[in-house]
Amino acid sequence: MQRFLILPLAAALAICAFGQRGYQPPTGPAPRMADGKPDLSGVWQRPYVPDMTKTGPNQQGMAELPFTEWGAQQWKNYHAEKGDYAGACLPFGLPRSMNSPEPLQLMQNSKYVTLMFEQNTWYHVFPIDGRPHRDQTTWFGDSVGHWDGDTLVVDTVNFNGKTRLDTIGHPHSDQLHMTQRFTRTDLGHIAYEVTIDDPKTFTKPWKNTRTFTLRPDWELMEYSCEENNKSLWEGRIKVPKY
């Protein structure tokens, strides 16, 4: 019996030699820009969070979501087989993009920060120079950032309400106010915190906290969601009716 257990393990270890287990990022202090602000640039490996209630490696979830009555109904009545916007390659929105499995590249200067998601080759760019929110409702929402000491705080509102928080489909409304905090704790890591404040869906704000890991050995790759989306074309995934 023991032999049967050992053989698959050996196979798994052989595969892990290709991949990520045991990876150690470079060490050193957090780098800074010429203006003295922390430099968040890099390609970052993030925990894939298909369900924001779950806790796992580098991810602290919120086990019990404080649904309002409306929010609980939205969650209870969600059935992905009746309409799956992400499966249809529509924009994930900012919360679900932050939960996506593929890497994220961050770039910045003194006026803007750009989040470049490998997932579906989407980007999200926002000012950090004190400008107010624009009055535009979008899939990703409208973000403005500012520095709170060495932490970049990203404040996002004006969501269109057509997206879901995560892959499993936890709901939010167009009243969502999302706050993200990025702190480069050292060369190899970002401490990340996201707060979901949506009074239509939840009775109080709640958080997830995560750790991102620098991957200087990775480069972003193209990801065309539309190229071979057979499941949509063959009718197994349906476009939601909004």
Which residue in the set 101, 123, 131, 147 belongs to the binding site for other proteins (CB under 8 A)? 101
Count of chain residues binding other proteins (CB under 8 A): 51
Instruction: Please say which residue, 196 or 225, places its beta carbon nearer to other proteins.
Output: 225
Cβ(98)–Cβ(39) below 8 Å: no
Q: Applying CB under 8 A, does 107 fall inside the site for other proteins?
A: no
In angstroms, what is the minimal distance from the CB of 206 to other proteins? 20
Instruction: Please say which residue, 38 or 47, places its beta carbon nearer to other proteins.
Output: 47
Which residue in the set 73, 110, 203, 231 belongs to the binding site for other proteins (CB under 8 A)? 231
Q: Which of 212, 225, 224, 203 is nearest to 152 (CA)?
A: 212
Instruction: Please say which residue, 4 or 149, places its beta carbon nearer to other proteins.
Output: 4
Q: Applying CB under 8 A, does 165 fall inside the site for other proteins?
A: no
Cβ(44)–Cβ(119) below 8 Å: no
How far is Cα 72 from Cα 171, in angstroms, rounded to an integer? Answer: 9
Q: Applying CB under 8 A, does 222 fall inside the site for other proteins?
A: yes
Q: Applying CB under 8 A, does 97 fall inside the site for other proteins?
A: no
Q: Is the dihedral of CA 64, 67, 71, 72 positive or negative?
A: positive
How far is Cα 40 from Cα 33, in angstroms, rounded to an integer? Answer: 9
120 CB burial (10 A radius; 0-12, 13-18, 19+) = middle
CB neighbours of residue 123 within 10 Å: 12
Instruction: Please say which residue, 69 or 227, places its beta carbon nearer to other proteins.
Output: 227
How far is Cα 143 from Cα 131, in angstroms, rounded to an integer? Answer: 10
* Region binding other proteins by CB under 8 A among candidate stretches 34-42, 64-72, 116-124, 147-155: 116-124
Which residue in the set 97, 119, 156, 201 belongs to the binding site for other proteins (CB under 8 A)? 119
Q: Applying CB under 8 A, does 57 fall inside the site for other proteins?
A: yes
Instruction: Please say which residue, 39 or 51, places its beta carbon nearer to other proteins.
Output: 51
CB neighbours of residue 37 within 10 Å: 15
Q: Applying CB under 8 A, does 9 fall inside the site for other proteins?
A: yes
SS3 44: strand
Instruction: Please say which residue, 106 or 113, places its beta carbon nearer to other proteins.
Output: 106
How far is Cα 199 from Cα 78, in angstroms, rounded to an integer? Answer: 19
- List residues near other proteins by CB under 8 A: 8-9, 11-12, 14-21, 45-48, 50-51, 56-57, 80-81, 84, 86-87, 89, 100-102, 118-120, 167-169, 218, 221-225, 227-231, 234-238
